[in-house]
């Protein structure tokens, strides 16, 4: 039988099998609604963890089986001979189809993994797998695919790059907060400040977030805290933990993650590196003491100056600290002298900073601060 050739461009009326995607989920002539997709199936099993009797065909959830059956009969059952499986809430066109479904009723497919979804890197749990993927991609990945056109900054996400450019490279007038009269860099900074500090909900979230971040920093410092002042490699007691840490970073840590292009000095901490670039290679002293007029390069030095010089308690504490510090330096100098005598018994001149052998271990240069 030959088929009639149809001219191009001929318009046709949509048949029953060519309905739009916006048509209702109920199929004509059937007692069951349209099948759900794989993603909605996974969401259905997650909903079941909250409410034991969710509807298979819409987002309605029920705590009683009788309520779900009544909902199915009123909303989703379009024929009088439809059959309901009460344990799982599915609709069937006949009792025979329901009996075929009975052996696998209520069994969760093995391909569905129930929440919580736990991150292998940090142990944080999520209710949705997509949130876990997003967390792993942007938190535990060092890939920064979005470079800034104006500086060397690279962002992990396009939203972070847009925020960086709008806050750092767009010149705008400062905005003053009407509540606390604080001057903000631009309108975006002002909106974030006002929402965070001058609205009850925002301020509560800000306090909770600050507390969580503070607890994380404390826990990290507690895990990485150095409690000894004795260098195990040099076998020298530096009297204080900060001196030992300074000695270790200068002598025993050879790899530097950041290096200054102007002076070649290396750093292991990015904040110290940024402060070095900002305050060392410039003669500007923008921070002025209101009481004596002294100028300082950074606010930390100004604060230390005010505490030590312009407060009574600070002066007393600073003087006592100087006395204790002087005693520690004397003890450390004696230990270095003993180490030098053990290595050089002929009293030959050895400059400070020469490598000594103390107890079979090497002690390298230590700068007394």
- Among residues 150, 189, 162, 159, the alpha carbon closest in space to that of 173 is found at 189
DSSP string, 235-290: TEE-SSHHHHHHHIIIII----SEE-TTT--EES-HHHHHHHHHHTS-----EE-T
pLDDT tens digits for 268-294?
777 788 888 877 887 778 788 888 888
Answer yes or no: is pLDDT of 37 > 80.
no
Answer yes or no: is pLDDT of 365 > 70.
no
DSSP string, 15-30: -GGG--TTS-SBPTT-
User: Of the given ranges (92-101, 125-134, 251-260), which has the lowest mean pLDDT?
Assistant: 251-260
Count the alpha carbons within 13 Å of 203 in the hemisphere toward its beta carbon: 5
Distance of alpha carbon 93 from alpha carbon 32, whole angstroms: 7
The mean per-residue pLDDT over the stretch 159-188 comes to 83
The mean per-residue pLDDT over the stretch 187-208 comes to 88
Phi-psi region of 143 (alpha: psi -120 to 50; beta: other; left: phi over 0): beta
pLDDT value, residue 3: 46
Return the domain boundaries, the chain. Answer: 25-104, 144-215
| Other C-beta atoms lying within 10 Å of the C-beta of residue 328 | 16
Pick among 3.30.160, 1.10.3470, 1.20.1630, 1.10.3210: CATH of 144-215: 3.30.160
Distance of alpha carbon 90 from alpha carbon 53, whole angstroms: 11
């Amino acid at each position: 039988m030959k088929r009639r050739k149809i001219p191009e461009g001929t318009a046709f009326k949509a048949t029953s099998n060519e309905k739009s995607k916006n048509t209702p989920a109920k199929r004509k002539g059937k007692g069951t609604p349209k099948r759900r997709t794989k993603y909605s199936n996974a969401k259905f099993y997650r909903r079941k963890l909250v409410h034991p009797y969710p509807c298979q065909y819409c987002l309605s959830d029920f705590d009683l089986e009788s309520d779900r059956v009544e909902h199915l009969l009123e909303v989703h059952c379009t024929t009088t001979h439809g059959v309901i499986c009460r344990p799982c809430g599915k609709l069937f066109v006949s009792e025979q189809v329901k009996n075929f479904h009975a052996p696998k009723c209520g069994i969760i497919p093995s391909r569905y993994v129930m929440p919580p979804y736990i991150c292998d890197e940090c142990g944080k749990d999520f209710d949705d797998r997509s949130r876990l993927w997003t967390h792993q991609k942007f938190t535990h990945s060092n890939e920064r695919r979005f470079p800034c056109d104006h500086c060397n900054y690279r962002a992990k996400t396009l939203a972070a790059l847009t925020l960086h450019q709008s806050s750092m490279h767009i010149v705008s007038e400062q905005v003053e907060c009407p509540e606390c009269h604080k001057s903000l860099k631009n309108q975006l900074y002002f909106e974030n400040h006002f929402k965070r500090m001058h609205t009850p909900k925002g301020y509560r979230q800000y306090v909770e977030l600050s507390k969580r971040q503070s607890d994380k920093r404390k826990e990290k410092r507690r895990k990485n805290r150095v409690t000894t002042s004795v260098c195990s490699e040099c076998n020298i007691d530096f009297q204080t933990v900060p001196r030992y840490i300074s000695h270790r970073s200068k002598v025993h840590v050879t790899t530097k993650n950041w290096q200054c292009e102007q002076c070649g000095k290396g750093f292991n901490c990015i904040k110290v590196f940024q402060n070095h670039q900002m305050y060392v290679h410039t003669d500007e002293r923008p921070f002025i003491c209101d009481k004596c007029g002294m100028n300082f390069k950074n606010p930390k030095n100004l604060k230390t100056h005010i505490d030590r010089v312009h407060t009574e308690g600070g002066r007393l504490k600073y003087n006592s600290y100087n006395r204790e510090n002087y005693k520690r330096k004397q003890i450390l100098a004696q230990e270095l002298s003993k180490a030098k005598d053990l290595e050089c018994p002929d009293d030959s001149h050895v400059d400070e900073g020469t490598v000594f052998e103390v107890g079979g271990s090497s002690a390298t240069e230590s700068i007394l601060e």
